A and B are shown apart, each in its own frame.
Chain A
Amino acid sequence: MKYKFRWATIAAIVIAALVMMLPLKEKIKLGLDLQGGMHVVLGVETEKAVDGKLDTIVTQLKKELKNANIKYSFAQKTKDGKIKLGFQEASLTDKARDLITKNYPYLVDSSLSNDPEILVFSLDQKEYDKIKDYAVEQAVQVIRNRIDQFGVSEPVIQRQGKNEILVQLPGITDPDRAIDLIGKTAQLRFHIVDENVSTQDAINGNLPFDDILLYSKEYDKVTGKLKQEIPYVLKREAVLTGEYLTDAEVRISSQFNEPYVLIKFDSAGSKLFDQITAENVNKRLAIVLDNNVYSAPVIRERISGGEAQISGNFTMDEAKDLAIVLRAGSLPAPVVVLENRTVGPSLGFDSITKGVKAAVIGFLAVMIFILFYYRVSGVIANIALLLNFILILGVMSAFGATLTLPGIAGIILTIGMSVDANVLIFERIREELRIGRTPLNAIEAGYEKAMSTILDANITTLIAALVLFQFGTGPIKGFAVTLSIGILSSMFTAIFVTRTIFMTFFGGKDTKNLSI
Chain B
Amino acid sequence: MVELIKSNVNIDFLGKSKLFFVISGALVILSLFLIFTKGFNYGIDFAGGTVVQVKFESTPDLDKLRNSFKDLNLGEMVIQTFGEPNDILIRVEKTSAGLKETADAIQTKIKEVSGNQKIVIERVEQVGPQVGGQLKKKAIMAIIYSLIGILIYVSLRFEFIFSVGAVLALFHDVIITLGIFSLLGKEITLPIVAALLTIVGYSLNDTIVVFDRIREKIKNSAGKLTIYEVINKSINETLSRTILTSGTTLLAVLALYLFGGEVINGFSFALLIGIVVGTYSSIGVASALVYKIKK
The interface of chain A, by Cβ under 8 A from chain B, is 33, 41, 43, 175-176, 179, 183, 223-225, 336-344, 346-347, 350-351, 354-355, 357-359, 361-363, 365-366, 369-370, 372-375, 405-406, 408-409, 412-413, 415-417, 419-420, 423-424, 427, 430-431, 434, 449, 452-453, 456-468, 470-473, 475-476, 479-480, 483, 516
Contact = CB atoms under 8 A, between A and B. Distances in A.
A417 B205 contact: yes
Interface in B1-32: 1-2, 4, 7
A467 B170 CA distance: 16
B121 A344 contact: yes
Given A461-B205, A463-B201, A346 B55 contact: yes
A488 to B, nearest CB: 14
Contact of B256 (A179, A224, A358): A358
A340 B235 CA distance: 49
A423 B100 contact: no
Contact of B100 (A183, A354, A357): A183
Given A431-B237, A468-B194, A351 B263 contact: yes
Closest 6 CB pairs of A and B: A416-B252, A464-B201, A362-B255, A416-B249, A354-B261, A461-B201
A409 B255 contact: no
B10 to A, nearest CB: 14
Nearest to B100: A337
B33 interface: no
B209 to A, nearest CB: 5
Interface residues on B, range: 35 or more
Contacts of A351: 261, 263-264
A460 B1 contact: no
Given A341-B124, A456-B157, A417 B131 contact: no
B253 interface: yes
Contacts of A453: 208-209, 212-213
Contact of A409 (B142, B193, B260): B260
A342 B123 contact: yes
A413 B209 contact: no
B218 interface: no
B221 to A, nearest CB: 15
Interface string B227-254: 0000000000110110011011111111
B197 interface: yes
Contact of B141 (A41, A336, A466, A471): A471
Nearest to A487: B201
Contact of B130 (A338, A464, A475): A338
A268 to B, nearest CB: 36
Contacts of A176: 103-104, 107
B271 interface: yes
Given A405-B263, A457-B204, A468-B198, 19 more contacts: A224-B104, A341-B126, A344-B123, A346-B120, A351-B261, A354-B261, A358-B256, A358-B260, A361-B258, A361-B259, A365-B252, A413-B198, A424-B209, A453-B213, A456-B212, A460-B150, A460-B153, A471-B145, A472-B142
A337 B198 contact: no
Contacts of A341: 123-126
Interface of B: 1-2, 4, 7, 53, 55, 98-100, 103-104, 107-108, 112, 120-128, 130-131, 138-139, 141-142, 145-146, 149-150, 153-154, 157, 190-191, 193-194, 197-198, 200-202, 204-205, 208-209, 211-213, 216, 237-238, 240-241, 244-245, 247-256, 258-261, 263-264, 267-268, 271
A362 B268 CA distance: 13
B190 to A, nearest CB: 6
Nearest to A414: B252
Contacts of B55: 346
B150 A223 contact: no
A516 B1 CA distance: 7
B56 to A, nearest CB: 13
Contact of B241 (A423, A466, A471): A423
A354 to B, nearest CB: 4
B125 A463 contact: no
B201 A430 contact: no
Contacts of A374: 2
Contacts of A225: 108
Contacts of B267: 406, 409
Contacts of B240: 427
A409 B128 contact: no
B264 A406 contact: yes
22 contacts: A223-B108, A339-B99, A340-B100, A358-B261, A361-B258, A361-B259, A373-B2, A409-B268, A413-B252, A416-B252, A430-B1, A434-B7, A453-B213, A457-B209, A460-B208, A461-B204, A463-B201, A466-B149, A467-B145, A471-B145, A472-B142, A476-B191
A462 to B, nearest CB: 8
Contact of B244 (A427, A465, A516): A427
B259 A357 contact: yes
Nearest to A472: B194
A457 B238 CA distance: 13
A467 B241 contact: no
A437 to B, nearest CB: 14
Contacts of A357: 259
Given A456-B208, A476-B190, A405 B264 contact: yes
A31 B267 CA distance: 17
Nearest to A415: B252
Contacts of A465: 198, 201
Candidate in B131, B142, B197, B200 with the most chain A CB atoms within 10 angstroms: B197
B208 A471 contact: no
